[in-house]
Amino acid sequence: MNEETKPKFEEWALVELFGHQKIVGKVTEAAMAGGAFLRVDVPALPPDGQPCTRFFSPGAIYSINPVTEEVARGLLTQSRFRNEPVSRFDLPQIADKVEEPYEHTH
């Protein structure tokens, strides 16, 4: 089976990552920067959730557990599976904490 006829992986799944992290979403394969990555698209959750996409290298993945879309959306109602990336709101707070330990001598 060559690359053109090989079926693409596209499933709803619970992805377990090293470091005891978990993320749930629509999982597909992605090629970026000359390497293979796993793409996880997390849908928006009512009432005001934002969708997000995360990319993981194969070495960061402990396991991939395919589930139905219904199960995935049910898991996403639990905060431990949301695993949202840093938001713009968080960035100024992070920058302030990074600057605090350093004194500028200019």
Q: What is the pLDDT along the chain (106 residues), one digit of tens a residue?
A: 555 666 788 999 999 998 888 999 999 999 988 899 999 999 987 777 788 899 999 999 999 999 999 999 999 888 777 665 555 555 555 566 655 555 555 5
Nearest to residue 41, comparing CAs of 52, 56, 30?
52
How many domains, the chain?
Answer: 1
For 11, 17, 79, 89, the CA distances from 59, given in Å and listed in that order, are 19, 9, 25, 30
| Residue 16, domain extent | 10-99
Q: Can you list the alpha helix ranges (DSSP code H) found in 41-82?
A: 69-76
Task: Write down the pLDDT at residue 20.
Answer: 84
- Is 41 part of a structural domain of the chain? yes
Note whether residue 84 is domain-resident: yes
Per-residue confidence (pLDDT) for residue 94, from 0 to 100: 56
pLDDT of residue 45: 79
Asked whether residue 5 is domain-assigned, the answer is: no
* CATH code, 40: 2.30.30
